[in-house]
Structure 1
Amino acid sequence: MTHRLYGWYLGLLDPIVEAIENLIIPSDRAHRVLLGIRKGTLEQVPKRIGAGSMVGSAKLIGCTVVSAIENPITPSDLAHPVGLGTRIRVLEHLPRRSGLGFTNARPADVSLSPIYALLVIDVQNCFISGTLALSNSPARQNGAEVVPIINHLLETIVFDYIVYSYDWHPVNHISFVDNLRNRTRYIKGGYNASIQVYDTVTYTGPKYETEQVLWPAHCIQNTDDAKLHLDLIVNTDKNNIIHIRKGTDPDIDSYSAFADNIKVQKTVLDTELKKRNVTHVIVAGLALDFCVGATALDAMDLNYKTFVVEDASR
């Protein structure tokens, strides 16, 4: 089994607003938002990722570099899914984007032997069978499908480090639609009785001004809903495992495993990865157009060589 990996840069697309699938459909639209792309297929996939591994020597067939700004590519040019990860797309690791709050980001030291971390994002009961199950979303996807694929990665590839992230909210979290009435004085434009779940509001306080999607209550700390899926392999080796809990501040949401949505508070993830000299991050989990996407974009912004395992994400 091989897995489709791709590094990515969304340019003008906002991953919090527009689903990643917008990069692929509709089929008649050219993708001018991509700044650079490598496309091709992997001839072989290494069985080990680790310091000095073969991952950089995997041979790309028919690989070309395209500037989508000058030469727009259409979705038909991209490798679409065939079976379980039979093709690979790899985007260039592009220069750090401005405006995301990481002005003091220290580059990963790529002069060292590559050090690889797998980031397993939010594979929690909530997004599989709970209050925010992907099967109830417009995409009607089954979040449980990523579990055996991530397990296969964990069983067949030796990553230097493995990160498990958790949405981990207090009961009074700003993202919960049920808490809207307790925050009416902070709603920009005033409270409106027509505001409902999945709407977006702008809060002006109590700590920050932030735009917020209103979700059902989910991933409440220390509940079964917030636990990792029972079938997910969770490595217990404390020497190479990092657990990241995000969204713990009741007054700001956090999709990325690196920081909150307005980049005023950072988790310890970047510090822990830099302390371990990690150079490459490989991201998988739930959900691709929110927490996986936001984590991958921040990883690029923090100068990691970044890949997303698409068949291990929904």
Structure 2
Amino acid sequence: MTFALSSTDALIVIDLQNDFCPDGALEVQRGDEIVPLVNRLQQRFAHVALTQDWHPAGHISFATSHPGTHPFETIQVAYGPQVLWPDHCLQGSEGAAFHPLLDTTRAEMIVRKGYNPRIDSYSAFLDNDHSTPTGLAGALKERGIQRLFFCGLAYDYCVHFSAMDAVTLGFTACIIEDACRAIDLNGSVARVNAEMQQAGIIRLYSDMLL
């Protein structure tokens, strides 16, 4: 099976930042391996957008903001369960910068998320309250985009939440699996795969596009 691409398709590159790559503050194993593939994929799309985790110090998602807790624990906050993470992607830091080998020249927009200190933001479209928009959906719809292809980090968190919200917002959502890497925290990959199948999200491999 192959996918013919058109001007109504867009590639959404999720959080391909230093802190999510090896030796970063919140390392996704082998996260840097996808960078050359993502660069090749960008050449196939008329529209490319990048997202960037962009946290202030003391962010609600940091374990250090909750005395007595540890990274990867889950707590309850006003908008529901919140996994606590090591401090990562601090605004203006080297960790928040895109991987140095990522081609950013073809991106027509960069969407920063997670900058509100009181709410986390996994999705490219909505904060974790599932109601506060980032503005990406409107920008894509103004350009006539209908189908979105997701890649990046991490598959079972920000990529997954972005694809799920894309479907809710009326887009067709596809995930390029070999252009992602996962955290797989407490069986999260199996869980999100089931959720995405039920939502009608298409999972494919890059050789169907290149």
TM-score, L = length of structure 2: 0.82
Match of 1:151 among 39, 45, 50: 39
Report the equivalent of 2:100: 230
Correspondence for 1:199 among 70, 73, 80: 73
**1:153 Cα deviation (Å)?**
0.9
Q: Report % sequence identity.
A: 38
Q: Are 1:50 and 2:1 counterparts?
A: no
User: CA 1:199–1:170 in structure 2 vs 1: closer, same or farther (change >3 Å)?
Assistant: same
Aligned residues: 180
User: What amino acid does structure 2 have at the position aligned with 1:143?
Assistant: G
Q: Which residue number in structure 2 is paired with residue 281 of structure 1? A: 148
Listed one character per residue, the Cα deviations across residues 20-56 of structure 1 (whole Å, up to 9, x for unaligned) are: xxxxxxxxxxxxxxxxxxxxxx2x555xx323xxxxx
CA–CA separation in structure 2 for the residues paired with 1:264 and 1:303: 15
CA shift digits 1:79-117 (9 cap, x unpaired): xxxxxxxxxxxxxxxxxxxxxxxxxxxxxxxxxxxx011
Q: Give the secondary structure class of the aligned counterpart of 1:226.
A: coil
Deviation (angstroms), 1:288: 0.4
Match of residue 65 from structure 2: 179
Shift in Å, 1:311: 0.6
Q: Does 1:162 align with 2:48?
A: yes
CA contact (8 A) 1:210 1:252 kept: no
Q: CA deviation at 1:212?
A: 1.1
Note the C-alpha offset of 1:242. 1.1
Partner of 1:310: 177
Q: Which runs of 4+ in 1 moved over 3 A?
A: none
Match of 1:292 among 159, 162, 170: 159
Give 1 or 2 for the bigger CA radius of gyration.
Answer: 1
Conserved? CA contact 1:116–1:278, under 8 Å: yes
Pair 311,268 (structure 1): closer, same or farther in 2 beyond 3 Å:
same
Indicate the residue corresponding to 2:133 in structure 1: 266
* TM-score (normalised: structure 1): 0.55
CA distance in 1, matches of 2:48, 2:42: 9
Aligned-residue offset at 1:301? 0.9
The counterpart of 2:27, out of the listed 133, 140, 145, is 133
Q: What is the match of residue 15 of structure 2?
A: 122
- CA RMSD, 1 decimal: 1.4
> Does the CA contact (< 8 Å) of 2:52 and 2:112 recur in 1?
yes
3-state DSSP of counterpart to 1:253: coil
Shift of 1:146: 1.0
Q: Are 1:256 and 1:291, in contact at CA under 8 Å, matched by a contact in 2?
A: yes
2: CA distance, partners of 1:212 / 1:154:
32
2:153, 2:159 within 8 Å by CA — same for their partners in 1?
yes
Q: Please list every run of 5 or more consecutive structure 1 residues that lacks an aligned counterpart in the other structure.
A: 1-41, 52-114, 136-141, 182-192
Deviation readout 1:147-188 (Å, 9 max, x if unpaired): 011111123x1x22111001110002000111113xxxxxxx
Q: Report if the CA contact (8 A) 1:164-1:243 is conserved.
A: yes
Q: Give the Å deviation of 1:209.
A: 3.9
- Measure, in 1, the Cα distance between the counterparts of 2:137 and 2:131: 14
Closer, same or farther: CA 223–307 of 1 in aligned 2, 3 Å = same
Q: Which stretches in structure 2 are left out of the alignment for 5+ residues?
A: 182-210
> Shift of the alpha carbon at 1:196?
1.7
Greater share of residues in helix: 2
